[in-house]
């Protein structure tokens, strides 16, 4: 067995939400715990930070990982989804898990996988824990896949639990109201474990407060701890400069390649988490924090969050695909100086297609496309839905063709944006 065969087996033979939608989702912890027991419970062999939320998980987890790396720690990072290869999901100090490690693990444990029949995400989570334990890491940053309460990662008792912003997504699995979705995310809050909440609003705050109280978990709302004194950002190329004051009047002057006002809130969440880690005797200073933000992309390989691709025509790619994320993206697109806006856009059929299309700019030229996954909405159907709300464009059978056409019709003073789905960005890279 070679890596290509192992990856194909894991991604195609096991249930996978990203490929199949709800049919590929297996909620519950039973199979994960059963597998972990077979491997001597590797998740108990290292400290961790556990992160849930609708938007911002990837940014926050990568920020924390980068800072800890700058402080000299050996940091495991487990994220999802991936863009090109499943190896992207499991990293130590920014380096992807070796292909041979996945191949050997799959080959050696094929009988066990066939017997227990885990989902793709469940076996991936177990692999991450085994690899981290074997590699003797100092700490792991673990991002939930979907939800929180029934997520395969929710077998750990972390040093701190983090929940980023909440928006409508995966409603059929998590609930039709913001409160129900919040309750699923709050399911990662553990007894006596500090939790940091990245967003404070009237709908979600009571749910978080209730869960924290029930678990005797100290709760921090990041927005209460920091004041944004000033900020500057350039969207092309992306750079964000922020000055924050904490409640003790300490000043943080930070620079990041991640832009958008939402990233300021993510920064506050990260800084609150760092303070909690310091209480556990992690040695992290201001210089580590500054360098961690500046070197974020280099340290972690993060891509797909307003990622700038230099070209004859500037290109921005972003994986945001729900109402909250797209709202933020549209606000940023409106702020970019440009002559014309060209949008390469594809979506999954199980998303709130009409609700998201209504958020998109009406003055853009659209190139609707279908990524090559079973869940993808046909580009022709997407075009018809877009026409109903007066978005102008054409449909293309592939992402690459749509992007080619956008490049052909754009000039150097225009902007091309690629988004709507992780799979659109992956195929456009």
Report whether 328 contacts 261 (CB < 8 A).
Answer: yes
Give 146's pLDDT tier (boundaries 50, 70, 90): confident
Residues 320 and 413 in one domain: yes
pLDDT score recorded for residue 76: 98
Residue 43, pLDDT > 70, answer yes
Residue 21, pLDDT > 90, answer no
Give 337's pLDDT tier (boundaries 50, 70, 90): very high
Residue 19, pLDDT > 70, answer no
Residue 361 lies in a domain: yes
Give 94's pLDDT tier (boundaries 50, 70, 90): very high
Residue 166 lies in a domain: yes
pLDDT score recorded for residue 20: 55
Residues 6+ apart with CB under 8 A from 237: 308, 310
With a pLDDT cut of 90, the percent of the chain lying above it is 83
Give the CATH number, domain containing residue 365: 3.90.190.20
Give 324's pLDDT tier (boundaries 50, 70, 90): confident
pLDDT score recorded for residue 117: 92
Residue 163, pLDDT > 90, answer yes
Question: For 391, which DSSP code?
Answer: -
With a pLDDT cut of 70, the percent of the chain lying above it is 96
Give the CATH number, domain containing residue 71: 3.40.1190.10
pLDDT score recorded for residue 54: 87
pLDDT score recorded for residue 179: 84
How many folded domains does the chain comprise? 2
Instruction: Give the CA dihedral 348, 319, 235, 301, nearest 10 degrees.
Output: -160
- Distance in angstroms (rounded) separating the CA atoms of residues 346 and 234: 26
| Average pLDDT of the segment spanning 304-331 | 93
More confident residue, 167 or 344: 344
Residues 322 and 279 in one domain: no
Residue 24, pLDDT > 90, answer no
Range of the domain at 355: 307-428
- Round the average pLDDT of the chain to a whole number and report it: 93
Residues 213 and 320 in one domain: no
| Average pLDDT of the segment spanning 181-194 | 94
Residues 285 and 322 in one domain: no
Residues 58 and 98 in one domain: yes
pLDDT in tens, 200-242: 888 889 999 999 999 999 999 999 999 999 999 999 999 999 9
Residue 6, pLDDT > 90, answer yes
- Distance in angstroms (rounded) separating the CA atoms of residues 166 and 175: 12
Residue 253 lies in a domain: no
SS3 333: helix
Residue 393 lies in a domain: yes
- Other beta carbons within 10 Å of 232: 10
Helix, strand, coil share (%) of the chain residues, nearest 5: 45, 20, 35
- pTM score: 0.93
| Average pLDDT of the segment spanning 376-397 | 96
| Average pLDDT of the segment spanning 284-303 | 97
pLDDT score recorded for residue 126: 97
Per-residue tokens: 54 = 């609708």
């Amino acid at each position: 067995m070679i890596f290509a065969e192992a990856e194909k087996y894991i991604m195609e033979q096991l249930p996978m939400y990203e490929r199949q939608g709800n049919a590929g989702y297996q909620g519950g912890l039973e199979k994960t715990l059963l597998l972990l027991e077979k491997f001597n419970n590797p998740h108990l062999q290292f400290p961790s930070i556990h992160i849930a939320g609708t938007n911002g998980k990837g940014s926050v987890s990568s920020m924390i990982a980068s800072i800890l790396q700058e402080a000299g720690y050996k940091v495991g990072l487990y994220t999802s989804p991936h863009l090109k290869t499943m190896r992207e999901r499991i990293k130590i100090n920014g380096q992807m898990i070796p292909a041979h490690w996945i191949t050997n693990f799959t080959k050696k444990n094929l009988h066990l996988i066939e017997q227990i029949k885990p989902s793709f995400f469940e076996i991936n989570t177990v692999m991450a824990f085994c690899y981290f334990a074997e590699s003797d890491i100092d700490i792991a940053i673990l991002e939930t896949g979907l939800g929180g309460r029934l997520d395969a990662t929710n077998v750990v008792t972390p040093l701190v639990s983090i929940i980023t912003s909440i928006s409508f997504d995966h409603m059929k699995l998590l609930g039709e109201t913001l409160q129900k979705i919040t309750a699923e995310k709050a399911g990662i809050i553990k007894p006596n474990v500090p939790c940091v909440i990245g967003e404070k609003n009237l709908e979600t705050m009571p749910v978080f407060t209730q869960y924290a109280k029930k678990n005797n978990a100290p709760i921090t709302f990041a927005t209460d701890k920091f004041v944004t004194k000033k900020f500057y950002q350039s969207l092309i190329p992306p750079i964000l400069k922020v000055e924050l004051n904490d409640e003790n009047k300490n000043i943080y002057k930070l620079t990041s390649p991640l832009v958008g006002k939402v990233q300021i809130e993510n920064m506050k969440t990260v800084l609150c988490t760092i303070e909690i880690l310091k209480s556990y005797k992690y040695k992290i200073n201001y210089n580590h924090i500054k360098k961690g933000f500046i070197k974020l992309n280099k340290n972690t390989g993060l891509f797909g969050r307003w990622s700038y691709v230099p070209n004859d025509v500037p290109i921005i790619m972003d994986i945001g695909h729900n109402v909250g994320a797209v709202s933020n993206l549209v606000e940023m697109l409106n702020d970019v100086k440009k002559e014309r806006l060209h949008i390469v856009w594809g979506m999954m059929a199980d998303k709130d297609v009409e609700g998201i299309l209504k958020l998109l700019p009406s003055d853009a030229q659209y190139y609707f496309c279908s990524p090559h996954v079973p869940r993808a909405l046909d580009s022709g159907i997407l075009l018809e839905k877009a026409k109903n709300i007066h978005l102008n464009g054409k449909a293309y059978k592939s992402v690459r063709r749509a992007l080619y056409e956008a490049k052909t019709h754009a000039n150097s003073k225009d902007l091309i944006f690629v988004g709507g789905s992780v799979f659109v960005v992956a195929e456009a890279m």
